[in-house]
Structure 1
Amino acid sequence: MKHMLLTWLLALSFLTATAQDISVEKSTYGIQVGFFGVYGHNESRLSNTIALRSELGLDAAIYSNNFAGSRKFVLVPALTLAPRWYYNLKKRVSKSRRIDGNSGNFIAIKTSYHPDMVIGHLDDNVNFISDISIIPTWGIRRHIGQHFTYETGIGMGFIHFFEEDNVYLSSTSGLALNLHLRIGYRF
């Protein structure tokens, strides 16, 4: 009887300790490449299920200039902050699935800023206008092996363009789409 009681107490303490370990990583760094650019990121834990993702990257863009009859490929710097709520960590652990490196499903509020800088060459009659966007996003992140990850997400939100003195904009705000598919390496 004493052995059985001791076994139950040990099992209960193990389950309690395991349940307390279900959390996002304290801090994780990585680099990701997608169809639309390359990004370096950090995720820092705010609570057991919420992490703040900060990201510095280069978004790829192709534009067509009808006046010059040309198409150009440019890169635009992107600064992003996105609190992410990983809502299914307990369910993943209960099914013996990985949660290391913040593997799981998430809901984020992605806030991105593009300054009016361009890496590449724009035609003389073309201006890049800086913008800020706030996009609620649903996504997933999974690990492949020890360090490799893949991530996908989709969301729709708000974008605001900062009007310049020499540029006329018919509208300074509108709808923005976040659609990403990335593979990455976690340090």
Structure 2
Amino acid sequence: MKKILLVILLSTLGFNAIAQEKENEQLDNFGKIELGFHGLSFGYELPISNKFVWENALGAGMGMSAEDNSASYTLDVVRPVPFFKSKLKFVYNINKRIKKEKVTVNNSGNYVALQTKYSFGKSGSFTYNPALLTEVHWGIQRSLGGNFIFNTHIGLGFVSDFDTSSTAFSPTFGLAFGYRLF
């Protein structure tokens, strides 16, 4: 009887250790490529805690500028504007997704994020100014199976244009499909 109790106790401790290990490993770090409304980017998602992910990306796509308290965004596919963005995401429903046995692969979940995006600007048939967009947004990220990822967000941003010294508040929206590279 003592041996049976010992086996049950050790198995329970083992299952608890595995469950705690999975809880600590609920978010993934990975590199990805994304294509969406803002252009093409290469990024990396790095979990910094059980619910926070820090995402950094380099890409080319939409240019932006601010003038007369109005922000404008333009996507020129022929002459994309290089950009860098950094985002801190709080994935607030990750534990609920785990409890309901929903997919959490590729950091699937709902999130609130603070993002900064620096657009380097470029001259051509349109004028794209060097500009900084700082935004707060709500979004969702879902795994579409395998290495494919869907990400969308909506929020409010503040654009600072470095050529015109103008600033503007602006609604923000993003939609992208990605592929996990590594």
TM-score bin (small chain)? 0.7 to 0.9
Matching of residue 138 in structure 1 with residue 141 in structure 2: no
Query: 5 Å matches for 1:1-187?
Result: 2=2, 3=4, 6-7=7-8, 10-11=11-12, 13-22=14-23, 23-25=26-28, 27-60=29-62, 73=76, 74-117=79-122, 122-123=124-125, 127-163=127-163, 169=164, 172-187=166-181
Q: Is this contact kept in 2: 1:133–1:176, CA < 8 A?
A: no
Structure 1 letter corresponding to 2:154: I
How far residue 6 of structure 1 moved from its aligned partner, in angstroms, is: 4.2
Distance change (3 Å), C-alpha of 1:106 and 1:75: same
Q: Secondary structure at the match of 1:21?
A: helix
**How many residue pairs get matched?**
167
Matched residues, percent identical? 28
Please list every run of 5 or more consecutive structure 1 residues that lacks an aligned counterpart in the other structure: 63-70, 164-168
- TM-score w.r.t. the length of structure 2 is 0.80
How far residue 177 of structure 1 moved from its aligned partner, in angstroms, is: 2.7
In the alignment, the residues of structure 1 paired with residue 140 and residue 89 of structure 2 have an alpha-carbon distance, to the nearest angstrom, of 11
In the alignment, the residues of structure 2 paired with residue 35 and residue 128 of structure 1 have an alpha-carbon distance, to the nearest angstrom, of 17
In the alignment, the residues of structure 2 paired with residue 143 and residue 76 of structure 1 have an alpha-carbon distance, to the nearest angstrom, of 28
Q: Secondary structure at the match of 1:32?
A: strand
Structure with more contact order per residue of length (Cα contacts < 8 Å, sep ≥ 6) = 2
Q: Is this contact kept in 2: 1:112–1:132, CA < 8 A?
A: yes
In the alignment, the residues of structure 2 paired with residue 57 and residue 128 of structure 1 have an alpha-carbon distance, to the nearest angstrom, of 15
- Taking only aligned residues, the RMSD between alpha carbons, in angstroms, comes to 2.5
- TM-score w.r.t. the length of structure 1 is 0.78
Q: Secondary structure at the match of 2:122?
A: coil
Please list every run of 5 or more consecutive structure 2 residues that lacks an aligned counterpart in the other structure: 65-73
